[in-house]
Structure 1
Amino acid sequence: MKTKHLISALLLVSSGLTLLASCNGGSVDTVKAIESNYDNQNKTIELTGEFDAPSFTFSSGKSKTMAMNFVVKSHAFSSEKFTAFSVILPVGTEKNNVLFDLPADQKNYTLKNFYVFDNNGEKNNLDSHTTFKMTGTVHYSELEKPENEREKDNFSYTITDVSFVKD
């Protein structure tokens, strides 16, 4: 009887590890694809991961949008990260918005200074490293140029019309 329980437990653990190891490979594949070809032009993509602060500072508090980063991993225990850059969110406190709150006497920002409001209107601080399921539409700036002026290896993009919920 003890052997049956041991075999059952091993099968359960093995199944669980396999599930965890493959849980987010689709998001990684999507990020790799948007950075290597134009197949996702004007297509809605779905990613699972967490928002990260942009890698620059802001010159004005009057901006109506903010380009955020969205980090995905192949699975929960992976140290390898892939980042979707230029995820454009409206600035504010409405659903699917970002809020940047930096006190006047503070010069450097951290994740604690950023909040996102998900599709349900729930306020989430980026420092909590909350996982979201995010959808948005991919646009490549290079494809806006006349075909004879395009650089074939410039895959700069923005992701707009973004909505997200806790995963």
Structure 2
Amino acid sequence: MKTQKIIPALLVAALGLTSLSSCNGTSVDTIKAMESNYDNHNKTIELTGEFDAPSFTFSSGKSKTMAMHFVVKPHAFSSEEFTAFSVILPVGTEKNSVLFELPEGQKNYSLKNFYVIDKNGEKINLDTHTTFKMKGTVHYSELEKPEAEQDKSNFSYKITDVSFEKD
């Protein structure tokens, strides 16, 4: 009788360890570092999380890039989120790009209107909340100014040369 109770208990413990091992602390640490120092300047970073629609208004339908948000969580069951802003993706239907489809006459948009095309060419709607592994290069605009004009507390960045795939 004890064996019948031990086996399910071991299975539950194994599942618990598996879910904890899928923690995303590295991505959270990377975002925290990007927002507090320049150590990642011109370096390629890797994050695991979800793309989110940017907060913007449309000025023209001719933009060739879109600054997306990329949201990471410490672990799968966490409500705490950390966002990498300004993940620059080309607009279009090529690999590693974003596509925005807003039907004529519709004024409001949601995640249903955004698609990303991953490095394998798969078109994925953001409303599915798919998890991606994303790589890109971090650039701090403040470091492009002459040193005397730099504000060492401004950690605004852009992530360019982005590639991503479903996790």
- Report the TM-score when normalising by structure 1: 0.94
> Could you say which residue in structure 1 is the equivalent of 2:117?
117
- Give the alignment of 1:42-81 within 5 angstroms: 42-81=42-81
Q: Secondary structure of the residue that 1:88 maps to in structure 2? A: strand
Q: Secondary structure of the residue that 1:11 maps to in structure 2? A: helix
Asked whether the equivalents of residues 112 and 127 of structure 1 are also in contact (C-alpha less than 8 Å), the reply is yes
Task: For residues 59-106 of structure 1, give each alpha carbon's deviation from its aligned partner in whole angstroms, at most 9, with x where no partner exists.
Answer: 111000000000001111111111000000000000000001112201
CA distance in 2 between partners of 1:89 and 1:73 (Å): 21
> Could you say which residue in structure 1 is the equivalent of 2:163?
163
Unaligned runs of at least 5 residues, structure 2 = none
Q: Secondary structure of the residue that 1:27 maps to in structure 2? A: helix
> Could you say which residue in structure 2 is the equivalent of 1:13?
12
* Count of matched residue pairs: 166
The Cα of 1:18 is off from its aligned counterpart by 3.3
CA distance in 1 between partners of 2:147 and 2:17 (Å): 45
- Larger deviation, residues 7-16 vs 36-45: 7-16
Task: State, as a whole percentage, how many aligned pairs show the same letter.
Answer: 77
- Report the TM-score when normalising by structure 2: 0.94
Unaligned runs of at least 5 residues, structure 1 = none
- Alpha-carbon RMSD across the aligned residues, in angstroms, is 1.3
> Could you say which residue in structure 2 is the equivalent of 1:145?
145
One-letter amino acid of the counterpart of residue 54, structure 2:
P
Q: Residues 53, 12 of structure 1: CA spacing in aligned structure 2 closer, same or farther, 3 A cutoff?
A: same
CA distance in 2 between partners of 1:81 and 1:5 (Å): 40
CA distance in 2 between partners of 1:34 and 1:77 (Å): 24
The Cα of 1:5 is off from its aligned counterpart by 4.2
Q: Residues 15, 33 of structure 1: CA spacing in aligned structure 2 closer, same or farther, 3 A cutoff?
A: farther
